[in-house]
DNA sequence: ATCCAGGGCGGGT
DNA sequence: ACCCGCCCTGGA
């Protein structure tokens, strides 16, 4: 494949650190020169920012401009969204100022499902390690700049991989979950293309919940961070529980705050932008 | 050493 | 409906 380049001048709501470190993705890594490099679908990309210009460079499956516009959600008006959310209260305003460059990536549904199954009760360095080993072992190779990169394995790539093999790759107790979910998708027990087409978020959520290793939190992450792009969901993890309790609930023991309670407040305050609000709050509370 | 990290599952009430 | 213990692994 031939190297392509694409640049956007005077871009807003686009900060590399905010996008790649806000917890939505696992295959982007910061380089020595401050740029980020990542593999998604059949693309290998390097992204860097100089002033208000973003430069994308790499090998793409198709036209780089189209690939980038789709993946980085460039047709959505984040300035408008941020303005609306900022009006809600000072907490939102502050968290948005902190994560002003966040964009929700349009990630492959299958990859997002598997990645967040792996994320369960796990830490980020280890999650990234597991995903890299899966890709190196079972993903298709792409050569770029004299280096080898590996696509995330497809369901077919994982067809004959055993539970034991997953355990060897360091998945721990998630081995069986990955095995079973892959099998269910290969057997079309859950049809990913149908999910993409279904506008009813709750139906899609129910369907995701039938997959092994997918509970409420993982399902919501998949709905928000994959190409399903449902911004009304509100994934609740320990950090979100923490920040929601600090700001709005103020219970002495945050672990005692129920999910329902948090969901109710999120819906009342943030409505159909709850997912975005969650992301700003999460990133702010974890990093700041 | 003990704990915990972006939960889910299965088996209790 | 809630609640609880348990689940691999590795880094602090």
Any strand C atom closer than 7 Å to A146 CB: no
Q: Which of A112-126, A228-242, A251-265, A267-281 has the lowest mean pLDDT?
A: A251-265
Which pLDDT score, from 0 to 100, does residue A254 have?
Answer: 83
Q: How many domains does chain A have?
A: 3
Any strand B atom closer than 7 Å to A276 CB: no
Does residue A167 sit within a domain? yes
Residue among A147, A152, A111, A162 at smallest CA distance from A132:
A152
Q: Which one of A225, A253, A271 terminates a domain?
A: A225
CA distances from A140 to A43, A72, A105 (A): 11, 23, 22
Q: How far is the CA of A212 from the C1' of C5 (A)?
A: 20
Any strand B atom closer than 7 Å to A24 CB: yes
- For chain A, the average pLDDT equals 96
Any strand B atom closer than 7 Å to A78 CB: no
Residue among A31, A11, A12, A4 at smallest CA distance from A20:
A31
The two structure tokens encoding residue A75: 């047709």
- Report the DSSP beta bridge partners of residue A4: A58
Any strand C atom closer than 7 Å to A199 CB: no
Regarding whether A120 and A48 lie in a shared domain, the answer is: no
Regarding whether A116 and A64 lie in a shared domain, the answer is: no
Q: Strand order of the sheet with strand A36-40?
A: A3-8, A53-59, A43-50, A36-40, A28-30
Q: How far is the CA of A211 from the C1' of B11 (A)?
A: 20
d(CA A266, CA A26): 26
Which pLDDT score, from 0 to 100, does residue A253 have?
Answer: 81
Nucleotide at minimal C1' distance from the A173 CA: C8
Contact A138, A157 (CB under 8 A): yes
Q: Which of A127-131, A137-141, A240-244, A249-253 has the lowest mean pLDDT?
A: A249-253
pTM: predicted TM-score of the whole model, two decimal places: 0.97
Domain range spanning residue A249?
238-287
Any strand C atom closer than 7 Å to A173 CB: yes
Does residue A91 sit within a domain? no
């Amino acid at each position: 494949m031939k190297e392509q380049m694409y640049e956007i001048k005077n871009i807003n709501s686009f900060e590399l650190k905010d996008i790649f470190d806000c917890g939505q993705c696992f295959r982007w890594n910061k380089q020595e020169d401050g740029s980020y490099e990542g593999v998604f679908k059949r693309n290998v990309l390097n992204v860097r920012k100089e002033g208000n210009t973003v430069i994308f460079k790499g090998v793409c499956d198709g036209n780089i401009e189209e690939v980038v516009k789709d993946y980085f959600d460039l047709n959505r008006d984040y300035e408008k969204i941020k303005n609306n959310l900022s009006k809600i209260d000072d907490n939102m305003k502050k968290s948005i100022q902190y994560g002003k460059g966040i964009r929700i990536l349009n990630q492959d549904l299958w990859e997002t499902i598997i990645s967040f199954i792996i994320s369960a009760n796990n830490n980020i360095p280890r999650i990234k390690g597991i995903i890299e080993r899966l890709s190196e072992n079972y993903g298709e190779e792409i050569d770029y700049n004299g280096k080898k990169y590996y696509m995330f394995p497809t369901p077919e790539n994982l067809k004959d991989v055993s539970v034991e093999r997953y355990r060897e790759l360091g998945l721990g107790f998630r081995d069986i979950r990955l095995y079973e979910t892959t099998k269910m998708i290969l057997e079309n027990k859950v049809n990913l293309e149908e999910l993409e087409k279904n506008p009813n978020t709750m139906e899609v959520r129910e369907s995701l919940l039938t997959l092994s290793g997918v509970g409420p939190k993982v399902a919501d992450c998949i709905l928000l961070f994959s190409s399903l792009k449902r911004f009304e969901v509100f994934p609740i993890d320990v950090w979100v529980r923490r920040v929601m309790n600090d700001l709005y609930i103020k219970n002495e023991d945050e672990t005692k705050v129920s999910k329902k309670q948090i969901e109710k407040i999120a819906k009342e305050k943030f409505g159909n932008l709850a997912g975005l609000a969650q992301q700003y709050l999460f990133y702010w509370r974890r990093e700041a």
